[in-house]
């Protein structure tokens, strides 16, 4: 909780900064742990329901822990017309989870993003922070194998 206090201090305990505060928590923990949200609610004197409302509204936040590896498929229009949906399907099939879920062994999380703004080189997959342009269906197996 010490980290959280520093985080809150950075934002001067202002309720209006809650989105930025949650972003920092999300980037530290990869998700928003319920316990921490309750703590933030107490410290900021902000209703937990409000924080929960924000945390579920904005797509950047996740209330469930994510896996060791994060795989994000860009579903932007340019990527879509170049076959992003099939790539996502293939990931879903290979990992046996739906987009937004995490595998049971907590190894992989699969997510989608609306657009990364790299439309020219789509379809794009971001794997553990690494951008991969012109991604092909057959690359799915290769990427997952490489990380095993």
Partner 1 sequence: MIELMIDGKKVTAQKGETVLKVAQRYNIYIPTLCYHKDLSPYGGCRLCIVEVEGWPLPVASCTLPAQEGLKVKTDTPLLKDLRRFTLQLILSEHPHACLICDRKEDCAHYMECIQKAPITFGCKFCPSNNDCELQTLVDYLEIKDIPFDFHYRSLMVERYDPFFERDYNLCILCGRCVRMCQEVRGAATLDFHHRGPDTLVGTAFRLPHLETGCQFCGACVDVCPTGALRERYGKWQAKSEKSVRATCALCNIGCSINLNIDSEGKLVSSTPDNNQICVRGRFGIVPMVYHARRLTRPLMKKDNRLVEVEWEEALSYVASKLDEHRGKTGLLFGSHMTIEALESLYRLADDLRCSIAAPLDIDGKGEPLKLEEFKDESVFLVVNTDMIRDFSPLLLMLRMQSKIQSTIIVIDSLENKFTNMADLWLQPKPGKEFETVSLLFGRGKKRNTTGISHETLERCKDILKKRNVYVLYNPAHSRRIDVPKSVRTLPLYSSINTLKICELGTDGSVDDILKKKTIDCLYAIGVLPRLQKGYKTVIVQNCFPPPFEFDVFLPTVTFVETRGSVINIEGKVKKVRRAIDPVGKSKPDDWIFQRMSEILKYDIKRRRPRQRKKKLSRVFEDMGTSKKYPVNLLVRENCYMYQGHPLSSLMKGFQRLRDDTALWISVDVAKKLRIKDNMHVRVISRNINLELHARVSDNLPENSVLIYNHPFLGVDQNQAVRIECITKETR
Partner 2 sequence: MKPALIISAGTCGLARGAGEIVKAAQDYQSKRRLQQKFDIIITGCHGFCEAETNVVVHVDGKQIFYQKLRPENVKDVIEKTLLREEIINNFLWSDPKTQQVYVYIDDIPFYRKQKRILLGNNLHVKPECIEDYVKLGGYSALNKALKEYQPKRVINLIKESGLRGRGGAGFPTGKKWELCRKMKSSVKYIVCNADEGDPGAYMDRSLLEGNPHSVIEGMIIGAYAIGAREGIIYVRNEYPLAVKNIEIAIKQARKRGLLGENILGSKFSFDITIVRGAGAFVCGEETALLISIEGRVGRPRPRPPYPVEKGLWGKPTNINNVETWANIPAIILRGAQWFSSIGTEGSKGTKIFSLVGKINNTGLVEVPMGITLREIIYDIGGGIPAGKKFKAVQTGGPSGGCIPSELLDLPIDYESLTEAGSMMGSGGMIVMDEDTCMVDVARYFLNFTQQESCGKCPPCRLGTKDMVQILNRISRGEGREGDIELLENIGGNVKRGSLCGLGQTAPHPVLTTIKYFRDEYLAHIKEQRCPALVCTALISYVIDPELCGGCTICAKNCPSNAISGEPKKVYAIDQAKCIKCGICVSVCPDKFRAVKKVSPALT
Query: Which residues of this chain interact with partner 1, rule CB under 8 A?
Result: 34, 37, 42, 45, 47-53, 56-57
CA 87 from chain center: how many Å?
Answer: 18
Question: Is the separation of the CB atoms in 91 and 110 below 8 Å?
Answer: yes
- Euclidean distance between CA atoms 82 and 9, whole angstroms: 46
In the sheet that holds 69-74, the strands lie side by side as: 108-113, 69-74, 125-127, 130-132
Could you list the residues that contact partner 2 (CB under 8 A)?
14-20, 22-23, 50, 53-54, 57-61, 75-82, 86, 89-90, 93, 113-122, 124, 131-133, 136-138
Instruction: CB nearer to partner 1: give 45 or 145.
Output: 45
Instruction: CB nearer to partner 1: give 63 or 81.
Output: 63
Instruction: CB nearer to partner 1: give 46 or 70.
Output: 46
């Amino acid at each position: 909780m010490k980290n959280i206090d520093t985080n809150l201090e950075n934002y001067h305990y202002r309720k209006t900064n809650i989105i930025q505060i949650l972003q920092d928590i999300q980037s530290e923990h990869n998700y928003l742990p319920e316990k921490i949200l309750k703590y933030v609610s107490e410290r900021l004197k902000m209703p937990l329901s409000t924080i929960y409302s924000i945390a579920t509204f904005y797509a950047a936040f996740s209330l469930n822990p994510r896996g060791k590896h994060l795989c994000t498929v860009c579903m932007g229009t340019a990527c879509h017309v170049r076959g992003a949906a099939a790539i996502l399907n293939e990931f879903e099939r290979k990992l046996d989870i739906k987009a937004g879920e995490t595998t049971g062994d907590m190894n992989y999380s699969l997510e989608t993003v609306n657009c990364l703004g790299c439309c020219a080189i789509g379809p794009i997959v971001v794997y553990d922070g690494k951008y991969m342009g012109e991604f092909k269906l057959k690359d799915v197996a290769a990427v997952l194998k490489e990380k095993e």
